[in-house]
Chain A
Amino acid sequence: MSGRVLPFRQFVLKVCSRCDLACDHCYVYEQADQSWRRRPKVISEDTVARAAERIAEHAQHHALPAVRVILHGGEPLLAGAARLRRICEILRREVEKVCPLDLRVHTNGVLLDDDLCRLFVEQHVKVGISIDGDQAANDRHRRYADGRSSYDQVVRAIGRLRDDRYRSLYSGLLCTIDVRNDPGATYGALAALEPPSIDFLLPHATWDNPPPGTAGSATPYADWLIAIFDRWIEDTHHVPVRIFESIIRTTRGAASLTEALGLSPSDVAVIETDGSIEQVDSLKVAYEGAPDTGFDVFGDTLNDAAGHPAIIARQQGLAGLCDTCRTCPVVTSCGGGLYTHRYRAGSAFNNPSVYCADLMKLITHVRGWRTHVDARPAGRPSAHAIPTRYLATLAGGYGDDLAIEYLVKSQRSLCRAMLGLVREQVRAHTLPASDGAMFNSGWELVTCLDEDNRQALDDVLAHPYVRAWLARCLEEMGGSTVDVASLAVHAAHLAAIAAAAAIRSGRQVQLQMPIREGAVHLPTLGRLHVGSATTATLTVGCDGFEVKSEFGQWSVPLAAVSDTQQPENWQPTRRLSAGKAVVALEDTDPYRDCHQWPAAPRLPAEQVRSWQRLYREAWTLVEREHSAYAPGLAAGLSTIMPLANDRPNREISAAARQAFGAIAAALPAEEGALALLIMHEFQHVKLGAVLDLFDLCDHSDRRLFYAPWRYDPRPLEALLQGTYAHIAVTDFWRARRHYLSGPEAEAATAKFALWRMQTAEATETLATSGSLTPLGARFVDGMRATVLPWLDEYVPDSAGDVARQWAEDHRRNWQGGLPR
């Protein structure tokens, strides 16, 4: 296949082609395409393996930062737990060699039991459920073949997902609209199930097979959705509804969240149970064979399928629409509607949507509300909020992936705010022409990417050392006098950030880049050594990027950005992987040296292998012995930064408030030490992000306090940080002692006895300080609720005696004022 194709980023993997329900509105079985009859009932292991290899190959070729695979059907749970486990294992084994995998399953829910939920927890598979509203609404269509209702089983399944054990799995609800159902009752019933999101789907229809319910009104679907929208916007903490959020986003120029709206190119491929690569299967409603591409995973690559004319037709944006749509005032939000809904025999897809009138009315209504809100003086963005249940889990020292996601989102806002400030502050100074121009071109590019490809920009802005860079810029501008030359050097780095985001998005641009320490730096991707010039020209092309300086010209193919086959001078960011937990081993970023210990230089390959081996072993230990910490770590730990260590036997590690998601460490000797320092430092990362959101301490209190793990007296917030970290330290030894034997077990028990005593003491110091805010007091209560029960756990007297002796020795030395 020649020429550039847009990559797929989402893959619907059909694991079972049959269903245990007989919903009469189903597009798989009840519409024109009947290809399901010819397919294997269940996907084979060989087909899964080949599909996984193809996805990994595709991700590597396009250097994708991540891919999503959705296990689908028919009804995917009919494949059974054993086969689903193998499918997940195969997908993770192959895809995660290349990039992170976001694995999901979409199900009718009736078979979702505890065994499957446990499997999905283990395999980190998010679960979406189809339900059409309350029982009356759901029973209209979602029935067994013999007419029985499926409602009770579905609600029971959703109940499992709302349970604390499985809450992290719950990704949302999908509701197919039936305008005969009361919209308010439908929304209320769905919202009452506390979903992370709701997706309302228009019933699949074409001009030849129009949607039901249109006899009494020209716009019944708009009227139905508007009734929900008006209620939704009044909800203070409304659940995200994808169709509404997509209209709002596209109104201000951002990308839609659904292929059914907006002009963004389609990035979805379907892999059937026989390995066929197909287009989105809503096309089944158009005509027999409509989704076919003729490709399959055994003989063709996904790139072959991506070049299929029918796939390309859904990636043409405005140019791919009919004349009527191209001149429509709401086309940027509507995007012509879902491709399938445009079909009419004769003119094929060159028509407006069969829902054209509904979409026009709905979008106009939402835009009218948006205009009203924008005009209000109080129309500022809302503030970040965390449900107390998640803050409580964080206070207890834990925090699952959902809790961490709140922190990740708030960090995104913080970085955007800091970037906005840097922009304002830079404008107030006159920088040297070259640096000023690089900052300005970088700013222009990031604002374009912000509109066109937010994800690529977010991926770069989320890099821990981008925030460190922002902090450095603001520091430069924060003093009474500003060193303009120094500020200019840092400000020019915005061009590097913009270039990295452009490469990740595939946007073809050219811009001047700063050279630091003889290299062009591309945050999240790596660095290219180019010699001692001060600037270089970087050009992003179809297949990679080129850099030209006065000392030469270098070309880096896109695949090599993440490939081990590296062009000369290119040093890509390497990754450490352990199943679902993939982190960057960051040893090139120019702003990484923001920790207490100096950063290590670029690691030789044998040290990377040592890191990889120890990381995998440490992660296995964390999952086995500290499963309560694993989901949060997997969700929030993005980066490990190697530290230089001038004393080989010294174990050093650090976290930095300005580098959310990163921990820094020198490679310890064994996996237990690495697991411990990861857990310890990530506590600081979590608490730092909480402190970015909330004041937990009275900052006017300048007293210093005894911290049982340090010889220097500490400010209150520092004591809070140390205590929070030592909850994890205590918990580590609490579990570790049971996995060791002999003297090692005795030592672990003594450490548990020591740290529970010290952490409990520090918690009481915090609680009685009188300088916690009301929220801080609640937070410390949460810490105390974790720690105090540990004091009642049995330890042998000998371990308790050792612990007490250690504690007394420490306090005696501290009181003597010994330096650390």
Chain B
Amino acid sequence: MSLSVQETVMSDLLDLSDTPLAEVADTVSSDIGDIIRRAMPLSADPERPAVSAFNSSI
């Protein structure tokens, strides 16, 4: 993550909208760890929440 001079906050998630699906796997293969970490926090660390719940009686 970095802050550019254009005042835009950059993620390290690649924008795959222009990448054909057939080529996505090749493009992201080196980022497997990041993607798993981002997409599946529960599996990366069971202490971290994957769901939230709200009980209005509180």
Contacts and interface: CB of A to CB of B under 8 A. Distances in A.
B35 A388 contact: no
Contacts of A409: 15, 17
B47 A715 contact: yes
Interface string B13-56: 11111111110111111011001101111110101111111111
Interface string A711-747: 0001101100110010000000000000000000000
A509 interface: no
B49 A721 contact: yes
Contacts of B24: 416-417, 419-420
**Category for how many chain A residues contact B:** 35 or more
Contacts of B49: 657, 714-715, 717-718, 721
A142 interface: no
B7 to A, nearest CB: 5
B54 A389 contact: no
Contacts of B53: 596-597, 652-654
A414 interface: yes
Contacts of A668: 56
By CB atoms of chain B within 10 A, which of A389, A421, A470 has the most? A421
B38 A420 contact: no
A267 interface: no
By CB atoms of chain A within 10 A, which of B26, B29, B32, B48 has the most? B48
Given A656-B51, A692-B39, A381 B7 contact: no
Interface stretch (A36-44, A158-166, A524-532, A693-701): A693-701
Contacts of B17: 409, 412-413, 416
Given A413-B16, A677-B54, A474 B36 contact: yes
Interface of A: 236-237, 248-249, 252-254, 380-389, 391, 409-410, 412-414, 416-421, 423-424, 446-447, 450-451, 457, 467, 470-471, 474-475, 478, 594-597, 650-658, 668, 673, 676-677, 680-681, 684, 691-695, 699, 702, 709-710, 714-715, 717-718, 721-722, 725, 773, 775, 810
B26 to A, nearest CB: 8
A58 B44 CA distance: 47
A417 B14 contact: yes
A383 B11 contact: yes
Nearest to A715: B47
Main SS at interface, chain A: helix
A450 B20 contact: yes
A399 to B, nearest CB: 14
The 4 closest A-B pairs by CB, nearest first: A420-B24, A420-B25, A693-B11, A450-B21
Contact of A413 (B3, B7, B13): B13
Contact of B41 (A657, A673, A681): A657
A596 B29 CA distance: 31
Contacts of B43: 471, 474-475, 478
A650 B31 contact: no
Main SS at interface, chain B: mixed
Contacts of B25: 420-421, 423-424
B8 to A, nearest CB: 4
16 contacts: A237-B6, A248-B18, A384-B11, A385-B11, A413-B16, A416-B16, A420-B26, A420-B28, A474-B40, A594-B51, A596-B53, A650-B55, A654-B54, A656-B50, A673-B56, A677-B56
Interface of B: 1, 3-4, 6-22, 24-29, 31-32, 35-36, 38-43, 45, 47-58
A657 B39 CA distance: 8
Given A384-B13, A413-B15, A694-B11, A650 B57 contact: yes
A384 B8 CA distance: 10
Nearest to B23: A420
A417 B35 contact: yes
Contact of B15 (A248, A253, A381): A381
B8 A416 contact: no
Contact of B56 (A236, A676, A717): A676
A385 B8 contact: yes
A715 B44 CA distance: 14
A677 to B, nearest CB: 6
Contacts of B21: 416, 419-420, 446-447, 450, 457
Given A236-B4, A413-B14, A420-B28, A684 B52 contact: yes
B38 A380 contact: no
A421 B14 contact: no
A382 B15 contact: yes
Nearest to A776: B1
Contacts of B20: 252-254, 447, 450-451
A252 B15 contact: no
A653 B35 CA distance: 27
A417 B1 contact: no
A418 B55 contact: no
Given A414-B13, A673-B56, A715-B47, A658 B39 contact: yes
Contacts of B6: 236-237
B24 to A, nearest CB: 3
A284 to B, nearest CB: 35
Contacts of B26: 420
A249 B18 contact: yes
Nearest to B38: A692
Contacts of A596: 51-53
B53 to A, nearest CB: 5
By CB atoms of chain B within 10 A, which of A412, A417, A650 has the most? A417
A412 B53 CA distance: 25
A595 B58 CA distance: 20
Given A474-B39, A653-B54, 4 more contacts: A391-B9, A410-B15, A447-B20, A450-B22
